[in-house]
Structure 1
Amino acid sequence: NWSTTQMKKTLIAAAVMAASGVAFAASNVTLYGVIDAGAVVSKVKHNTTKVQMKSGFDSGSRWGIKGVEDLGNGYAVGFQLEQGFDSDTGADTASNSAGKSFGRETRLYVDGGFGQVGVGRFGSLASGAGSYTILTGWAFGTSYEDQGSWTSFGKTNSRVNNAIAYVSPSFGGFTVHAMYSNGTEDDANKWSDNRHYYGLGLKYADKAATAALIFEALDGKGTGGEKKVGTGLNTYLKTLGLDLIEGKELEALDKNKAEFKDRKTAYSVTAGATYNFGVVTAMGIYQYAWESEMYSQHAFGLSASAPLAGGTAKLGARYLLGKLDGDAKNVAKALDADTKYRAWNIDAGYTYPLSKRTYFYGFAGYSDGAKLYKDVENGKFNGWSVGTGLVHKF
């Protein structure tokens, strides 16, 4: 008993796959997507103000195909293929999809009384992306880029390749979540040369409350070896959130090569919760993340959402404090730089539904860094942005 809308989506999906030379027999394949088109004004410390057309500022623009087949006896097999794109150019240059056919997610899964097992490429447990993430506790989720996304302050493993995920059945509102990646980018080499991700989480959900506790580890296997000096250093600077080496300085350093050691395992523990009081939904999130010879840090977030004038208003604040460790600390001392870093951020947003599938959004955010982050030209820690746009889902 399919609705007219569902039938139309199935017919469209059939046409898309027929046009691409792909045959299918299932009757429940669905084409879906999100288109986000907006305008953003932003400024990063020591840089000029930018006015830009933006795709995916609120929700990443994407299209996908998904389907499921009932095997009987409580078992089912399903799939999902999802690709991102930029609505302002039509290109597949979205950061998570560039150069990939389905860069946002590719998964094949089996459902049964045991829960669900899925394999493919998808977001890690605390990434805030994909079908298996259980991140909660921040009103803005991973929206609004550097200023609004929780991942700009917290450490995250984003999407991982060569992954397998498990979700248990619900026990009194609790579910267990586990994930492993046999190579976050590639697993063509021997096991000890591939970088691996491990995640374990516990989620609780009822009508008023949600909560999650997530432990993640990303080992440093395969990160060493002989590399161009400038490019090698940039991999470390990016992890710390510092300015990258660019231009002629990068070219000069890259003329030299050095043997880099494998990085240590990076760990994080993330806890978040929400509670709907009726008038307002309150949220809190905390993460402790550390990597030997690199850093240790704490990130906190408090936020809330509430109905307002037919839409939903959101308000949030975050604080980050951390310090460099080991080799990274020694390098900072040699450069006469601070070995501790701080940053705070405030965000406000509003969404208004124009229909069941279309809504308007507005957002403003400001961040300010201190100590090591005082003058870094990075919008995550020093800058502001104001944006508005429209999101349509199909």
Structure 2
Amino acid sequence: MKKTLIAAAVMATSGVAFAASNVTLYGVIDTGLLVSKVKHKDTLVQMSTGFDSGSRWGIKGVEDLGNGYAVGFQLEQGFDSDTGADNATSSAGKSFGRESRLYVTGAFGELGFGRFGSLASGAGSYNILTGWVFGTSYDVSGSWTSFGRANSRVNNAIAYVSPSFAGFNLYAMYSNGTSDDANKWAKNDHYYGLGLKYANGPAKASLIFEAADNKSNYDIAATAEPWDVGSKLVEKFTGIKGAFDKDDADEVGVAKFKAKTSYAITAGGAYNFGVVEAQGIYQYAWQSDFYKQHAFGLGIKAPVAGGTFGLGARMLLGKFDGTAKTILCKEDTDKYRAWNIGANYKYPLSKRTAVYGYAGYSDGAKWLKDVDSGKYNGWAVGTGLVHSF
């Protein structure tokens, strides 16, 4: 009741009329301390925000249309609790960067429109990523998105969720322009996702297929970002430091490296045995002329001393392909490897507040052995307090 009254006050000050009983203000505030060390770099001691759960606030509501139909909305913005700034990862420059959706529900299922996380993003209302014990928590040291692919938020999107059949739900998602759809259709970047989710008692699982056609991508640095090798790729290919756009690409003749369609198949599951929950995840991702890779993860969660303990280990195995191999691997191996292990403990102080701790270590090999990134080479230890409202 208090949250709906607060939401009423917020909306009233903006001059918007609504049914108070159908609108809710909600959020998460996560602040803590993080000590980390990346290979070849200094040890850092920092205030952290969103290390366990991304700090955010949002407004959501629903209107009953009758006959089993309803229309709802959700607007969600991320912020950094240590500075008060917009979260640079998901929300910078946007009023509601984490999620902005309008949806309709009925006997047919649910149909949503707007901006939200892709099926394997680990974020948003239509995310169905399953099987990694830390989800997208604990930054690059713990988040599955450090090793996995197809994990972004997309604009101009449509999502469909089927009714449940014996514990199964079908998910489908399409983006008409992952950033924008201002160009003609053939020149916009599109996302396609199809997934199957299962939940029944102690068992849950998901199978996801995703594709991004990268129609407009001439930005080699952005294309190479998953391994933090963008600047090296550009320099080797052009002698130019930094990212560049299509016009720059045409000038130096690199249009042949225009990104091809990228694909990812992700399968994950979990089973709760009571004393412990076992989890596992696997992804195969590939992009012609660039890379092929496998990512694995295994983990457990268990109740300990009134809180929850988690332990997870994962591995990344891949190789460069085609033009990327030619550019990057004249002197280096064409393979890359990395492994990571992490552990956390979370203790509830109340229904809405918890204290947590995490420690993780990552190590890269082959092409990644000297990459200066905590995703592949380094350690992190953090603790903090997270409050939900």
- Is TM more than 0.5 here? yes
1:222 CA displacement: 1.2
Structure 1 residue identity aligned to 2:223: Y
Q: Deviations over 1:95-149 (max 9, x none)?
A: 1000000000001000000000000000000000000000010110000011100
Partner residue, 2:260: 264
Q: Could you say if the C-alpha distance between residues 365 and 252 of structure 1 is closer, same or farther in structure 2, counting changes exceeding 3 Å?
A: closer
Partner residue, 2:280: 284
Matched, 1:354 2:349: yes
Note if contact 2:362-2:375 (Cα within 8 Å) is conserved in structure 1: yes
Matched, 1:235 2:235: no
Note if contact 2:174-2:193 (Cα within 8 Å) is conserved in structure 1: yes
Q: 2:187 aligns with which of 189, 193, 202?
A: 193
Q: 2:207 aligns with which of 208, 213, 222?
A: 213
Q: Deviations over 1:135-188 (max 9, x none)?
A: 010110000011100110111231000000000000000010000000000001
Secondary structure of 1:176's partner? Answer: strand
Q: Give, in whole Å, the separation in 1 of the partners of 2:135 and 2:157.
A: 23
Partner residue, 1:227: none
TM-score after normalising by structure 1: 0.93
1:234 CA displacement: 1.5
Partner residue, 1:121: 115
1:337 CA displacement: 1.5
Deviates most, 95-104 or 255-264? 255-264
Q: Could you say if the C-alpha distance between residues 146 and 189 of structure 1 is closer, same or farther in structure 2, counting changes exceeding 3 Å?
A: same
Q: Could you say if the C-alpha distance between residues 254 and 370 of structure 1 is closer, same or farther in structure 2, counting changes exceeding 3 Å?
A: same
Matched, 1:308 2:299: no
Matched, 1:10 2:1: no
Deviates most, 93-102 or 379-388? 93-102
Secondary structure of 1:146's partner? Answer: helix
Q: Give, in whole Å, the separation in 1 of the partners of 2:109 and 2:8.
A: 29
Once superposed, what is the RMSD of the aligned Cα atoms? 1.8
1:8 CA displacement: 1.1
Deviates most, 356-365 or 233-242? 233-242
Q: Could you say if the C-alpha distance between residues 252 and 150 of structure 1 is closer, same or farther in structure 2, counting changes exceeding 3 Å?
A: closer
Structure 2 residue identity aligned to 1:294: F
Secondary structure of 1:79's partner? Answer: strand
1:16 CA displacement: 0.7
Number of residue pairs matched by the alignment: 379
Q: Could you say if the C-alpha distance between residues 359 and 76 of structure 1 is closer, same or farther in structure 2, counting changes exceeding 3 Å?
A: same
Structure 2 residue identity aligned to 1:153: F
Q: Give, in whole Å, the separation in 2 of the partners of 1:333 and 1:352.
A: 47
Deviates most, 276-285 or 248-257? 248-257
The ranges of structure 1 where at least 4 consecutive aligned residues each deviate by more than 4 angstroms after the TM superposition are 248-256
Q: Give, in whole Å, the separation in 2 of the partners of 1:234 and 1:110.
A: 39
Q: 1:387 aligns with which of 373, 379, 382?
A: 382
Note if contact 2:176-2:191 (Cα within 8 Å) is conserved in structure 1: yes
Q: 1:77 aligns with which of 67, 71, 80?
A: 71
Q: Deviations over 1:202-250 (max 9, x none)?
A: 01101101000000000021113xxxxxxx331233144426359x986
Structure 2 residue identity aligned to 1:367: S
Structure 1, unaligned stretches of length 5 or more? 1-6, 225-231
TM-score after normalising by structure 2: 0.94
